[in-house]
Amino acid sequence: MTVFKSSQITWGVMSGDAACDDWITTYCADGDGMVQVVVYADRIELQDQLEVCNTWAVDFDICEILENAQLYIGATYPQIYEDAMHWEHVPTIEEAREEMNYINGYAHLNQKG
């Protein structure tokens, strides 16, 4: 299986089979498909236990989508997040504070200036 590293976690990447799958690519952080980002021909979805949590257009930047999904996993499933961390980028205190503000609905506090 190939992998992709977002800023904090490692995603397993699987390609669909055009003959039998309606999806093109799936990014999964836990290895079980509990939370995954699924790329279809006409959309990209963040799924939590196969329930759609968010949808983006296919022309949206997949790196940005995986960053958003990473925040979702961190807030919803901290154990999965920790297990999937690649530890190459240890956040500064300021980055951690900004992430917690975002997760807890205080993103407006991150605005500088």
Indicate whether 9 belongs to any domain: yes
Looking at the domain assignment, is residue 50 inside a domain?
yes
- Comparing 45-49, 70-74, 94-98, the range with the smallest average pLDDT is 94-98
pLDDT band at residue 90 under the 50/70/90 scheme: low
Task: Name the domain count of the chain.
Answer: 1
Could you identify the residue written with the tokens 């003959």? 19
Which range of residues forms the domain containing residue 28? 2-86
In DSSP terms, which residues pair with 35 in a beta bridge? Answer: 48
Give 85's contacts (C-beta < 8 A, 6+ positions apart).
8, 9, 10
Decide if 70 is inside a domain: yes
Could you tell me if residue 13 is inside a domain?
yes
Is the residue at 99 inside a domain?
no
Phi and psi angles of residue 68, each rounded to the nearest 5 degrees, phi first: -65, -40
Q: Does residue 17 sit within a domain?
A: yes
Residue found by looking up tokens 């949808």 in the block: 55
At residue 78, does pLDDT exceed 80?
yes
Looking at per-residue pLDDT, the higher value among 21 and 15 belongs to 15
57 belongs to a structural domain: yes
- State the pTM of this model: 0.72
